[in-house]
């Protein structure tokens, strides 16, 4: 069963994805993706498919009995949650749009553009780590209160929500 360590690894993957998206934004290249008539829809559909996959995976995992799930250890178990966070962030075209359209607006005017964007990308990553990490720590403390029945309901709700977001993303702009 996934716990706070796996959740924090997922948060680290998300933060890594922000840095990966931030690098081309700093270089001014992410604007090409945002403006491309072919690239943005392709990334949007890949992201929608991945959200659907994650939702189906969540539904399947919560369908099985928690006691039947084997304990995962080793490098593959560590990379799994991190990879999930990274891939879901990399396949989120809204991050590219955010980094090219919204993030430059609050850039400090006294700094060269590349430095200002670097500062904002790092700040966005730090805030994401603090925000999502805080959720993980808060929910890990609430874990004993969340009975198995509530956990199953939350897992099902998460799965259906991810599939719904995937469908919304797939049909956005059509």
- Quick one: DSSP state of residue 28? T
Digit-coded pLDDT (tens) for 84-139? 999 988 988 778 777 776 677 777 888 888 888 899 999 999 999 999 999 889 88
pLDDT band at residue 141, thresholds of 50, 70 and 90? confident
DSSP of 68-137 = GSPP--SHHHHHHHHHHHHHHHHT-HHHHHIIIIITTTT--TTS-HHHHHHHHHHHHHHHHHHHHHHHHH
Most confident region among 14-18, 98-102, 164-168 by mean pLDDT: 14-18
From CA 28, how far away is CA 16, in angstroms rounded?
19
**Which of 78-87, 113-122, 134-143, 144-153 is the least confident region?**
144-153
From CA 95, how far away is CA 19, in angstroms rounded?
10
């Amino acid at each position: 069963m996934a716990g706070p360590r796996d959740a924090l690894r997922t948060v680290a993957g998300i933060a890594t994805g922000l840095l990966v998206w931030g690098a081309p934004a700093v270089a001014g290249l992410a604007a090409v993706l945002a403006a491309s008539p072919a690239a943005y829809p392709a990334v949007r559909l890949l992201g929608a498919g991945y959200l659907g996959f994650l939702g189906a995976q969540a539904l399947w995992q919560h369908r099985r009995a928690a006691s039947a799930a084997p304990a995962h250890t080793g490098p593959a178990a560590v990379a799994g949650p991190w990879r999930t966070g990274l891939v879901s962030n990399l396949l989120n075209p809204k991050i590219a749009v955010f980094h090219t359209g919204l993030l430059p607006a609050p850039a400090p005017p006294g700094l060269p553009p590349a430095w200002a964007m670097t500062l904002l990308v790092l700040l966005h990553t730090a805030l994401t780590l603090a925000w999502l990490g805080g959720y993980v720590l808060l929910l890990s403390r609430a874990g004993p209160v969340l009975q198995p029945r509530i956990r199953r309901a939350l897992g099902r709700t998460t799965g259906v929500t991810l599939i719904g977001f995937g469908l919304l993303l797939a049909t956005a702009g059509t």
